[in-house]
Structures are given as C-alpha cells and as structure tokens.
Amino acid sequence: MSVGRAIPHDSAELHVSGEALYCDDIPTPSNTLHAAFGISTIAHGRVREMDLSRVGAAAGVVMVATPADIPGENNYGSVVHDDPIFADGLVQYAGQPLFAVAATTYRAARKAASLARVEYETLPAILDVRSALAAESYLMPSERIVRGRPHERLAQAPHRLRGSVTIGGQDHFYLEGQIALALPQEGGGMLVHSSTQHPTEVQSIVAHALGTSAHAVSVQCRRMGGGFGGKESQAALIAAAAAVIARKTGRPTKLRLDRDADMIITGKRHDFVADYDVGFDDRGRIVALTVMLASRCGYSADLSAAVNGRALTHVDNTYFLEHVEVISHRCKTHTVSNTAFRGFGGPQALVVIEQVMDEIARSLSLDALDVRRANFYGVGERDTTYYGQKVEDNVIHEITDRLERTSRYRERRAEVAAWNAGNTVIKRGLALTPVKFGISFTATQFNQAGALVNVYSDGTVLLNHGGTEMGQGVHIKVAQVVAAELGVPLAAIRITTTDTSKVPNTSATAASSGSDLNGMAAQAAARTIRLRLVDYLCEKHDVAPDEVLFADGSVTVGARRLSFREVVAAAYLARISLSSTGYYRTPKIFWDKAAMTGRPFFYFAYGAAVSEVAIDTLTGETQLLRVDILHDVGASLNPAVDIGQVEGGFLQGVGWLTSEELYWNERGQLRTYAPSTYKIPAASDWPAIANVALLERAPNHEETIHRSKAVGEPPLMLAISVLHAIRDACAAALPAGAAIDLPAPATPEAVLRAITPLAPRVFA
C-alpha cells in the first residue's frame, strides 16, 4: 500500500534537474509585459504631488498604472478591505506600492519605476510595538481569555516573578519571490498564474479589482518555491496589480518582485513583546499567570486577528495553567502589514511561556526540564486548556521521557557543567523544550476542502485538489491516499496544477492542514468512484460487495482477478461515470467568540527537542553542536516527507531565533532587505550531530486521514530549545544568579550584550 511509505517528493527529480516549472518558467507570449512597483520612501504621510512623467517616458514603458486604472476595487485585503493595491493619497509604510509600471522588459520596468518624483507631507509615524502600546494604537479590539482568579492567586503565591519577553519578526525568504502572470482571455476573462497558497482568494481579489465576477477569473498554481505563510494573503497584491495592467493593455503581464522589493513590500512574521507576572510553588508549579501579548501588525488588518488569536490560545504550550489571564493587543504601526508565517502566532506564544519556565527554574535553582515536567498537562486530570478544550491526546510525557533517555540529557547536563567549569571563553548550554500545537484553522469556516478525481478508461488517474504545493509534499501525500483508495500503483496517479476552475471555493493551504483536509476530500472522491465500480461489478458478476477488492492495480471479484484497467474500460462501456468530486469538513470543532471558549482544534501535534550549543564569550557567536528531536506525526502518511518537514521547520525556527534580524531605521525604512544583511541559516548551520525521529506507533486518536497528523508548522517551535540552550550558556558566562536579558533573535550582538550587562552598550 502506498500510504505510510517513505516515498520521495513527486517533484524531487524535477527540482534537481531544473525541469520543475515555477511561475517564472511558464513560456510567455511574445507581447508579454513586465511590471514593477514604484514604492513610497516614507512611513506615514500624504502624497502631495506624484510626477510620473519621466516614468511614462522611459525606454520600453507601455503603461503606468495608478488607482485610476483599477476598474473595480482598489483593495487586496481579504478579511478587512484596508489594503490598497496602490496607495491612494495616504501612505502608511515605507515601501508601500504607489503605482506600477509595465514595460517590454523587466529591467526597463525596474529602471522606470525609480524615476518617479513624489512629494509628501509627512505625518508622525508609530514604528514599534512599545510605541504603539503607549499610544494605544490598535488595529482591532484587544482580546482576553481568563480562567480562575489569577490576580487573587498571584498575590497569595509562595513565589512570584515578573518579566518581559522580546521576540523579533522574520522574513519568509522563500527561494522563489512573489510573482504572478496575468493573461487576458476572450470575453473579459482573465487567467492568472500565481505563486500563491490561496488561489481562491487571488481569484476573488482579482475579480473585485477588475470589477468582474469570480467565474471570469481562473487562478492556477503548479507549485511555489516556498510559501511559509508569506503567500497566503499577500500574493493577491501581486496578482491584482498584474491583472489590472493586463486588463488595461490587453497584453499578458508578469509581475515578479526581486528579493529587495519582496522584502521591503511584503509582510513578515509579527514581532511580539510580552509582559508576564507568574506565581509558583517550591517545585516550580505555576499557581497563577498573567500575560500581556502585543504584536506589530503593521498598517492593515491582513490576517492579524487570526495570528493573534492563535497566539492567544498557545500560551499554555504543554502546560496546565489553572488561574490565568492572557491579553492580546494588535498594534497598528506604520510598517509593512505583517502576515502568516509558519506557526501563525503560536511560536511567539511558546517563546513567552518557555521563558517563564526557564525563569522559574533559575529562581529556584532547579533543572528547567523538571520545572517543565512538573507543569505538563496531566492525563485524565489537569487536562483542560484555559479556553475550555480538553487535551485528550497528550503524548508529551512519553515523548519527553524517551527523548531525555535517548539524548542522555542528564549525563550531558553534567558534562556541560564540567566543560563550563574548565573553560572561560567558550561556554556551553543545553535545553530540552516541548511543543504542543493546535491543528485546524482557528476560523472554523476554513476547515473544509474539495477534490476532483478523474479516472480515464485506460486505468490512469488525474488528481486535482484544493491544496497548493510549496515544497511540503501535499501532492505526494494526497496521491498516496488516492492510490490506496483505488488500489492502484502510485505511478497510475498524475497530480495536476491547482486550479480554481477545477476545484472551487478552496481554503488557503495553511494551518498545516493541507494533507488533512485535501487528503480526506480526495479520498472521498476516489471512494465514490470505487463504490460505483463495486456496484457495477456486483451486478455484472453477481457477487456481494465484500467480494470485490481493489489492490495492487488489480480487482478481485469473487474468484475472478481482473486488472484495474480492464474493470475501468468495461465500466466506461457500461456507462458508469469515472469522475467524481469529493468534499470534507473537519468535525467536532467550534468556537464561542463571546465566551472565548470552545474546541478550536481537532487535535494537537506534539514534539520535543534537546539542543546543545557553544557560545564564544568574546564575540557572542553561537554554534549549534547537537540536536535530538522526537516529533509526533501520528501514523505518518510519508515518513520521508515528514522528516524533511521536521528538519526544515526546525532549522527555519533556528534562523528566526538566532540569526534573522529585521532592522528598521528611525524613518521606518527596512535596512535588512537582502541576504547581505539578513542572515538565514545555511547548510553549514545544520548541527554536526542531529538525531531526528518520528514518534512511532502513535496513530492519531481522531479519525484523520489514515490517522496521520499535520506536520508543516509544529516542528518550527522545536527551535526554541536552541534559544534556551543559548540562555543556558549565557547563564554559565554570568555571575551565579544574574538575570539573563536575552531577546530573540539571539544574535551574536544580543548574546554579547546579555553576558556583559555592565559593559558600555557599544552595540546598542
């Protein structure tokens, strides 16, 4: 059976041979135009005058598009319509598109875009979270979840600590930047090839921008060169601008952001600050906790309500919090509109609670692992989250116990201490951190999917579903599911471009739920066809349904054995439909917005990691020496793909927490917009020792697709172990009992500041 096997990604060979088609590789008609955005240089202000005459007169330029050229709505915001495609008078971040220019070549468009003369009337800008909090600059109402009597219990707690957490943002740095190709069709139609996680939303936004209807717009995506959340909502900006130009000129239009433009124009992970107040007992068990979360949303809503909603429900991580209050402020700033990024607010919340655990442990001189374990959700007791969902599938005890053993945590703790006692320059640190992550879109309505399966009369199968491929392997997993359902070899299945005209009204491929949702929908479609074939065979051969078996490309019908191909060919002649749609919606989930309680997640995914680092106390540089990971993916659909997701997610998290630093200057301009100044992990940052394993014999207790679990986002949070290993090493470099003031990312500068708290702040 194809399900559960370690099968290579369907495009693996195409990726390495260069044959895989990305949006920019699609052959374009010879009259194709290339577009570029002209962007604002100020963070907040009004455009007093915009002189585009030199732009329009530049070599090769065919059209300059401004708000006046948009036939429909000048907006690409999905939830709230507060995202202009081109700023119309009011500028709200440095880098905001003001216009687009289309020329006969890409270079000509880029050159022309820089020739605009714009005069602004500048307005005061709020650029960071603390300033926004001080000014109560919020994009949407703050939200709060309370359970028990946290304030009262805090006052009575045996021990109490207050602290703050600073967590940076992150650029998606997908290898393929944002891109769309819009091709005008007859009768007012528009075909858009878009590098998007959300073809349906691109379709809807392009239709609104063009002043037309959804049925006139088709959006296709064969694959993305990475999305990581960055192409969930904001791919629509690029597609809409390209479509507006294509409509106006009647010519195919490609809009591709180069790295600089992509980093300056499009949103990132939300940076957060948090203040906490925790009360605990002598064993480090939390008695009461209050947390204030505040995030930088940027100038518009985008997905910020949902991102912060996920943060609001992830402060517990794997810990039972009895008396707790969490408040979430969604700060409006004059910076780019932040968006989805792997983990979607969850990782930031986990960083907060893990710092709380670490501080408790340090204040009681206990091992942080013991404090963490003392606070774990119980099994059958202390098992209800502060938003009312029962934790029914708790495997964190098993994971932690096993990992503690296999990583030799205790022995290595002693080895690290011995090393630190004997070395003054290089200090080492060790940490084990757990992960629990809720699976389902927090907005219940997105938890649905559709698929279309066509069986051709030669026995081959064409598979289409609403999920998009961004490297994560959703296509191979869904193909494995369909192959299993029809009992055919994987080679019989062909996976096709995601296309809004084949499967409509889809959700974004996001929230790690791509295979969960589309796997179920595709299984339903294939099952419908199989059941039709069973009916037909029962009648034809006078057998009972349970005498018909599909496996290995054959169909057993009573005593007969036929090939799948023969059965299908005969069914066609008998006028049996060989094509079907399939549909799935996640059961059991609900959310009461007024009470802030419910069951937002179908289930939880778990994992834990032990990381060991070395820091150079003279330079602040850090090195990850070893990582041990044990991660829960239920009954894996494809262990090869899942291990890839665990490793990739982990290292992406390491980048977020150690080296990727976004720096805006005092004028609100992003200064780290290229790999020269924005450092993502390289292959050389992978630790010399890495033991990565999936939790075995742990099928999902819920009826998910073949009892698997989602894997896309949760492993990113395993990287918090690296941040804590660095904290541990910093502690070894500081006098005993000294406070550790280490933000994320723990860059060399931040580490150096943390371990030399009294030194002049030359890096400040």
Contacts to ligand MTE by CB under 6 A: 226-229, 342, 467, 470-472, 474, 509-515, 645, 648, 710, 712-713
Q: Is 232 in the site for ligand MOS (CB under 6 A)?
A: yes
Count of residues making up the chain: 764
Q: By Cβ distance, which residue is nearest to ligand MOS? A: 229
Q: Out of 229, 252, 346, 467, which residue is the one contacting ligand MOS (CB under 6 A)?
A: 229
Distances (CA, A) of 201 to 204, 236, 562, 625, 642: 5, 7, 44, 43, 28
Cα separation, 507 vs 198, whole angstroms: 7
CB of 710 to ligand MTE, least distance (A): 6
548 vs 710, beta carbon nearer ligand MOS: 710
CB 389 within 8 A of CB 603: no
CB 281 within 8 A of CB 200: no
274 vs 340, beta carbon nearer ligand MTE: 340
CB of 392 to ligand MTE, least distance (A): 22
Q: Out of 288, 481, 511, 596, which residue is the one contacting ligand MOS (CB under 6 A)?
A: 511
- Determine phi and psi for 637, rounding to 5 degrees: -70, -35
198 vs 428, beta carbon nearer ligand MOS: 198
Could you identify the residue written with the tokens 């002189």? 51
176 vs 232, beta carbon nearer ligand HPA: 232
Q: Is 231 in the site for ligand HPA (CB under 6 A)?
A: no
β-bridge mates for residue 630, sequence order:
608, 693
| DSSP state for residue 270 in the 8-state scheme | P
Q: Which listed option, ligand MOS, ligand HPA, ligand MTE, none, makes contact with residue 474 (CB within 5 to 8 Å by class)?
A: ligand MTE
Omega prior to 748 cis, within 30 of 0: no
Q: Which listed option, ligand HPA, ligand MOS, ligand MTE, none, makes contact with residue 470 (CB within 5 to 8 Å by class)?
A: ligand MTE
Q: Which listed option, ligand MOS, ligand HPA, ligand MTE, none, makes contact with residue 443 (CB within 5 to 8 Å by class)?
A: ligand HPA
Q: Out of 33, 50, 510, 557, which residue is the one contacting ligand MOS (CB under 6 A)?
A: 510
Q: Is 83 in the site for ligand MOS (CB under 6 A)?
A: no
CB of 354 to ligand HPA, least distance (A): 21
CB of 349 to ligand MOS, least distance (A): 14
Cα separation, 557 vs 541, whole angstroms: 8
Q: Which listed option, ligand MOS, ligand MTE, ligand HPA, none, makes contact with residue 407 (CB within 5 to 8 Å by class)?
A: none
125 vs 510, beta carbon nearer ligand MOS: 510
Among candidate residues 616, 670, 491, the one with its CA nearest the CA of residue 565: 491
CB 497 within 8 A of CB 222: yes
Q: Is 344 in the site for ligand HPA (CB under 6 A)?
A: yes
Q: Out of 20, 366, 379, 443, which residue is the one contacting ligand HPA (CB under 6 A)?
A: 443
Q: Is 139 in the site for ligand HPA (CB under 6 A)?
A: no
Q: Is 197 in the site for ligand MOS (CB under 6 A)?
A: yes
CB of 496 to ligand MOS, least distance (A): 22
88 vs 685, beta carbon nearer ligand MTE: 685
Q: Which listed option, ligand HPA, ligand MTE, ligand MOS, none, makes contact with residue 99 (CB within 5 to 8 Å by class)?
A: none
Could you identify the residue written with the tokens 């917005």? 593
Please list the alpha-helical segments (H only) found in 439-495: 474-486
Q: Which listed option, ligand MTE, ligand HPA, ligand MOS, none, makes contact with residue 321 (CB within 5 to 8 Å by class)?
A: none
Q: By Cβ distance, which residue is nearest to ligand HPA? A: 511
252 vs 267, beta carbon nearer ligand MTE: 267
CB of 713 to ligand MOS, least distance (A): 6
Among candidate residues 318, 404, 370, the one with its CA nearest the CA of residue 630: 404
Dihedral sign, CA of 536, 538, 541, 547? positive
CA angle 172, 173, 175 (to 5 degrees): 130
Q: Is 73 a catalytic residue?
A: no
Q: Out of 193, 310, 428, 477, which residue is the one contacting ligand HPA (CB under 6 A)?
A: 310
Q: Out of 441, 591, 650, 664, which residue is the one contacting ligand HPA (CB under 6 A)?
A: 441
Q: Dump the DSSP string for 415-445.
A: HHHHHHHH-SSEEEEEEEEEEEEEES-SSGG
State the Rg of the chain over Cα. 27
CB 240 within 8 A of CB 182: no
Q: Dump the DSSP string for 72-97.
A: S-S---SSSS---SS--SEE-STT-E
- Determine phi and psi for 500, rounding to 5 degrees: -65, -20
CB 533 within 8 A of CB 453: no
194 vs 669, beta carbon nearer ligand MTE: 194
45 vs 229, beta carbon nearer ligand MOS: 229
107 vs 585, beta carbon nearer ligand MTE: 585
For ligand HPA, the binding residues in 483-512 under the rule CB under 6 A are 508, 510-511
CB of 517 to ligand MTE, least distance (A): 8
The type of residue at 502 is K
Q: Is 515 in the site for ligand MOS (CB under 6 A)?
A: no
Q: Out of 139, 306, 324, 608, which residue is the one contacting ligand HPA (CB under 6 A)?
A: 306
CB of 512 to ligand HPA, least distance (A): 8
Omega prior to 743 cis, within 30 of 0: no
Cα separation, 59 vs 112, whole angstroms: 8
β-bridge mates for residue 561, sequence order:
556
Size of the site for ligand MOS (CB under 6 A): 10
Q: 670-702 in b/e burial notation, b at 16+ Cβ within 10 A?
A: bebbeeeebbbbeeeeebeeeebebbeebebeb
Binding flags for ligand MOS, 320-359, as an x/- string (CB under 6 A): --------------------xxx-x---------------
Q: Dump the DSSP string for 102-164.
A: EESSHHHHHHHHTT-EEEEEE-----SHHHHHHTT-BSS--EEEEES-HHHHHHH-SEEEEEE
Cα separation, 439 vs 511, whole angstroms: 7
Q: Among 143, 411, 713, 749, which one carries the catalytic annotation?
A: 713
Dihedral sign, CA of 559, 563, 564, 570? negative
Distance of CA 127 to the CA centre of its chain: 24
| Chain contacts with ligand HPA (rule: CB under 6 A) | 232, 303, 306, 310, 340, 344, 441-443, 446, 508, 510-511
| Chain contacts with ligand MOS (rule: CB under 6 A) | 197, 229, 232, 340-342, 344, 510-511, 713
- Residues known to be catalytic: 713
